[in-house]
Structure 1
Amino acid sequence: MIHVADAVRDGFKKISITTVDTDVIVIAISVFKDTEADEIWIAFATGKHFRYIPIYDIAQSLGPLQSRIIPIFHAFTGCDTVSSFAGRGKKTAWDPWNTFPELSSVFRQMTDQPSTISRDSILPLLERYVVLLYHRTSESNSVNEAREVFFAHKGRSIESVPPTREALYQHAKRSVYQAGFILIQCLILQPVLPSPDLYGWKKQDNGM
C-alpha cells in the first residue's frame, strides 16, 4: 500500500491493484482513507473467479471504525500466519460481530494500542464472541465453560468446541502481532516491530 500512497502523491487518484491475496483487500480497506485516493480497485483472483473489487465503496459502506479494525478481525478469524477456528469461516465469524457491537471496542484496542493488551482488557469480550461463534444462542461468557457444556453434555467432537481461555489469549496475541503491528503499518517504509515471542510465538532453532 505504500506504493499506492506514492502514486496518489504523484497525482494518480484512481488506483488499481492486481492480487490473489485476501490480505491485500483487507489492508486496502483499512487504509483507504489514509491514502487519500479517490478510488481504489482490486483486480482479484484468476480465471472464472476473477473480479474487480471496489475498495472505496466497501470502506464507505463499513464506515471509519469497522474499516480501520478489519485487519484484526481478519487475523483473529484466521489468516496466513494465524490459525482459524475449526469449521468457522469468515461469513460465520462476521455475523456475530454485527450482532455483538461491543466487540469493536476490543478490536480497536488491539489495533490502536497493541502494546497495551492484557488478559483483563481483551479476553472478556473475546470469550463471549468466540462462544457465539460456536453456539449463537449460548448465554455463556466463558470459553472454558462452553467447552465443558458442548463437549460433555452436547456430545460434540473436540474439533467442534471453543479453545481454552489460555489458548484463546495466545491466539489473540498472535492476531495483534499480525494485524496491530504488521498489517496496520503498511504505509510505513521501515516499520518497527517487537519480538514475536512477546506475542504468542515461541522461538526455536529452526524458526518460530
Structure 2
Amino acid sequence: MAPFIANRQIYLNFDKCYKYGVVNNCVQRTEDFNLNCPAHEEADTKIVYHICKINFEANITIRCSDTDVAIIMLANMENTHKDVNISMEFGVGNHQRFINITKLYKNLGPQLSAALPGFHALTGCDFNPAFFRKGKNRTFQLLQKTQKYIDAFKKISNISEIDINKEFSTIEEYVCRIYGFTKMNEINKARVASFVKTYKILDNDDVFQLPKKSIDGSAMPPCQSELRQHFLRTCYIAHLWAHAFCKNPSPFFPENYGWEEKEEKYIFKWFEGTQLPSQVSEITLDSTEDNTEENDENQLDTSETLPSSDEEDSGQSNNDSTDSEDE
C-alpha cells in the first residue's frame, strides 16, 4: 500500500474518519477528529460535510451518480471555501459526463439553490415517494418562475424557524398547480375535481355506473391527510440536507415527521385518521345544497395535467417508496 499512497493522504470515513499516510515506508493510520461526523448516517451528507471543511484552494471531483448528492452540494455551496471548485462525475463509458457544480450554483443563484432540498424531497428522492408521472422538469419550471414557492421551499429547510401550518398551505397550493389546477388551492377539492373529470357518472339509468371498469388512484392527487405526512417527511429531509455542513445536521426525530418505527425499522406513516368514512352520509351531498364551487372542468387545465413523455416517472407513484442506496 505504501507505494500506492506515496506522498498522498487518503481519508476513509465510516463510524470514524481515518487518515492514511506513509511515514518511513510504512502506512500510518490516524484519526481525524475534525472530520468525524457520526451524526451523519448517509454517505450523501458526509461527502458534503468533508468538502465544507476544506479551507484552502482546491479542485474537487465527486464521483457519484446520485442526484441527491448534487442537490445537497448545491444547497451547501455558501458554506464552502471561496477558492474551491467542485464538479461531479456521473455515469461510465459513453454515458460519462461531468457537471460543474460551482458554475451551476452561480447560474441558479443562492435563493433557488437553497430551495432545492425541499423541492427534491417533495417531488421524489431516495427517502420520499414521487407524485405519479409528474417528473421533475415541469415541477421545477413551476418552482423557478414563482418566488412564493421558492421562499416556501427555502423556509422548510429550517424546521425550527417556520410555522408548519402556514408553509403547508403554500406547498398544498403548489401541489394543486402540479396537477393542473390553476385556481383551486385545497388538495381535497382538487382530488374530487380530478375524479369527476375522469370518471363521469352515466345518467342513462338510476344505477351508479362509471364509464371505466377500474379507477386508477395513482393518477389523482393525494388526499390532504396523506400530503401532510409527505410534507412532514419533506421538512425533515430538507432540514437534514441543508445542514450537511454541520457536525450534527438535525436534532429532530423521524417519528415526528412522517415515519413510524416498526420492528426496529422506520416505515412511512401514510396518513392519520381512518382510511374510509364511517357512514355514507359523510361523503354524500344534500340535493338541496347550492353548488358554490366553480365548474370542475374549468378548474382543471388538461393541457397541464397530462405530462410529456420525458417527464413520466413510470416507476414511481404516490404509494410506492424507494429504498435508500447511499452506503
- Is 1:176–2:235 an aligned residue pair? yes
Alpha-carbon separation, structure 2, partners of 1:178 and 1:184: 9
Corresponding residue of 1:163: 222
Which deviates more from structure 2 when the two are superposed, residues 69-78 or residues 189-198?
189-198
Corresponding residue of 1:197: 255
Corresponding residue of 2:49: 2
RMSD of aligned residue pairs (Cα, Å): 1.8
* TM superposition shift of 1:60: 0.8
- The list of structure 1 runs, each at least 4 consecutive aligned residues, that deviate by more than 4 angstroms after superposition, is none
Verify the 8 A CA contact 2:149 2:171 in the aligned structure 1. yes
Which deviates more from structure 2 when the two are superposed, residues 33-42 or residues 84-93?
33-42
SS of 1:67's partner is helix
* TM superposition shift of 1:114: 4.5
Alpha-carbon separation, structure 1, partners of 2:250 and 2:185: 36
Structure 2 unaligned runs (5+)?
Answer: 1-47, 200-214, 267-327
- Is 1:126–2:206 an aligned residue pair? no
Decide which of 157, 172, 183 is 1:139's aligned counterpart.
183
Alpha-carbon separation, structure 2, partners of 1:151 and 1:206: 38
SS of 2:157's partner is helix
Which deviates more from structure 2 when the two are superposed, residues 104-113 or residues 188-197?
188-197
* TM superposition shift of 1:57: 1.1
* TM superposition shift of 1:49: 2.2
Verify the 8 A CA contact 1:30 1:68 in the aligned structure 2. yes
Alpha-carbon separation, structure 1, partners of 2:179 and 2:249: 36
Cα 1:19–1:107 shift into 2, 3 Å: same
Alpha-carbon separation, structure 1, partners of 2:127 and 2:109: 27
Corresponding residue of 1:63: 109
Corresponding residue of 1:187: 245
Cα 1:192–1:118 shift into 2, 3 Å: closer
* TM superposition shift of 1:89: 0.9
| Structure with a larger share of its residues in helix | 1
* TM superposition shift of 1:195: 1.4
Decide which of 50, 53, 76 is 2:99's aligned counterpart.
53
Verify the 8 A CA contact 1:77 1:90 in the aligned structure 2. yes
* TM superposition shift of 1:130: 0.7
Decide which of 78, 81, 92 is 2:138's aligned counterpart.
92
Alpha-carbon separation, structure 2, partners of 1:43 and 1:17: 6
| 1:118-171 deviations in Å (ceiling 9; x for gaps) | 22x112211111111111x53111111111111123338321111111111110
- Aligned-partner residue type, residue 128 of structure 1: E
Verify the 8 A CA contact 1:15 1:37 in the aligned structure 2. no
Cα 1:29–1:53 shift into 2, 3 Å: same
How many pairs align? 203
Cα 1:53–1:126 shift into 2, 3 Å: same
Percent identity (aligned): 27
- Aligned-partner residue type, residue 186 of structure 1: A
* TM superposition shift of 1:192: 4.2
Alpha-carbon separation, structure 2, partners of 1:78 and 1:37: 31
Which deviates more from structure 2 when the two are superposed, residues 34-43 or residues 69-78?
34-43
Give the TM-score, by structure 1 length: 0.89
